[in-house]
Amino acid sequence: MKVTFWGVRGSIPAPGPETVKVGGNTSCTEIRTPDGDLLILDAGTGIRPLGLHLSQIPRCRLIGHIFLSHTHWDHIQGLPFFEPAHRRGNRFTILGEKRVNERLEQVLAAQYMDTYLPFSLREMQADILIKEMQDGETVLLGENTSVTALRGEHPGGVFVYRLCWHDCCVVYATDVRHPSDGLDTALIHLARGADLLIHDAHFTPEQVRAYPHFGHSSWLQAVKVAQAARVKRLALFHHRPTASDEELQEVERRAQEIFPPAFISREGFSLDLLASAASQTARPGSSRLTSGLSSGTVAANDKPVRIYE
């Protein structure tokens, strides 16, 4: 399972000489399974270079799934500029949280108003399906891939995802706030034994105490979650737009002093989890959270399992 980072910033894009090494695009991560499944996590401005990359594949009909953590602007602002969504014959399913008072399709369509853009969501030529998920729900993609959603703590709500291909798992936990007196135990449970934890590291430990209402984590909280969940690797993600390359390199150094497999997510960086796992001994307890689920079964939390081809 290959993970590639296309956008690693939070809040607003941050181009310029001080961010050129780590990158300035907002949140977008690509996951490719050995079965060929294409999973995209969030649609910040990083989805634009991803789309340009995918469009270079000759004579290929693209089928993919875009999982939105939430619909704050830095996680959806690149969607109108995702080139493969403008090509007839491609198909994308966009999944996100089900809300009580507004549908996901309406939320996404709002940024396509002619006040902001010269085209509408319905004018994009690819076949685009928009589906809503519930807290605790698992969806199955193809034969071997599952995605489980967990609602986290963030203004307006956020979904944390656990994505597994067989026993190889990635947990995506951006824009999450931990309790002032500890860590989110549900997140630790979801991340247990994951091959890679991608965790919000927007703040320093000092900043997270000063801005608790922003709904983000510090790099130190991310490290503590990684330790508690016994994950194999930790990617620090959703960097502040004001954080320079030098600052983030220092964060990486300090994080690795505590948890050596930690690293700063950087645009363009790819990690093949299966190739890495083949050279290491698997840790006890690293089995897939949704192991044993199959068509027609129900998850342990009594949420339905849905199947997408």
Pick the residue with more confidence: 142 or 257?
Answer: 257
Residue 45: which of 62, 26, 72, 32 has the closest Cα?
Answer: 26
pLDDT at 117 over 60: yes
Is 150 inside a domain boundary? Answer: yes
Residue 37: which of 64, 15, 74 has the closest Cα?
Answer: 64
- In the chain, DSSP assigns E strands to 2-7, 28-32, 38-41, 63-67, 91-97, 127-133, 138-141, 145-152, 158-165, 168-173, 196-200, 234-237, 262-264, 270-272, 305-308
Which pLDDT band holds residue 25 (cuts at 50, 70, 90)?
very high
The pTM is what?
A: 0.89
Note down the domain range covering 264: 2-284
Q: What is the three-class DSSP state of 223? A: helix
CATH number assigned to the domain comprising residue 214: 3.60.15.10
Is 291 inside a domain boundary? Answer: no
Is 249 inside a domain boundary? Answer: yes
What's the pLDDT score for residue 284? 33
What's the pLDDT score for residue 163? 98
Is 304 inside a domain boundary? Answer: no
What's the pLDDT score for residue 300? 33
pLDDT digits (tens, 9 = 90+) for 157-173: 899 999 999 999 999 99
pLDDT at 154 over 50: yes
What's the pLDDT score for residue 307? 57
Pick the residue with more confidence: 8 or 288?
Answer: 8
pLDDT digits (tens, 9 = 90+) for 169-207: 999 999 999 998 899 999 999 999 999 999 999 999 999
Is 297 inside a domain boundary? Answer: no
What's the pLDDT score for residue 210? 83
Query: According to the 3-state scheme, what is the secondary structure of 6-61?
Result: EECECCCCCCCCCCCCCCCCECEEEEECCCCCEEEECCCCCHHHHHHHHHCCCCCC
What's the pLDDT score for residue 305? 58
What is the average pLDDT score of the chain? 88
Provide the domain count of the chain. 1
- Work out the average pLDDT over 18-33: 98
> From CA 224, how far away is CA 230, in angstroms rounded?
10
Q: Determine what percent of the chain is predicted with pLDDT higher than 70.
A: 89
pLDDT at 257 over 90: yes
Which pLDDT band holds residue 121 (cuts at 50, 70, 90)?
confident
Is 280 inside a domain boundary? Answer: yes
Q: Would you tell me the crossing angle of helices 245-258 and 219-229 to the nearest 10 degrees?
A: 30
What's the pLDDT score for residue 309? 52
Specify the DSSP element, H or E, that contains 110: helix 104-110
Is 13 inside a domain boundary? Answer: yes
pLDDT at 145 over 90: yes
Structure tokens at 107: 């939320």
Is 295 inside a domain boundary? Answer: no
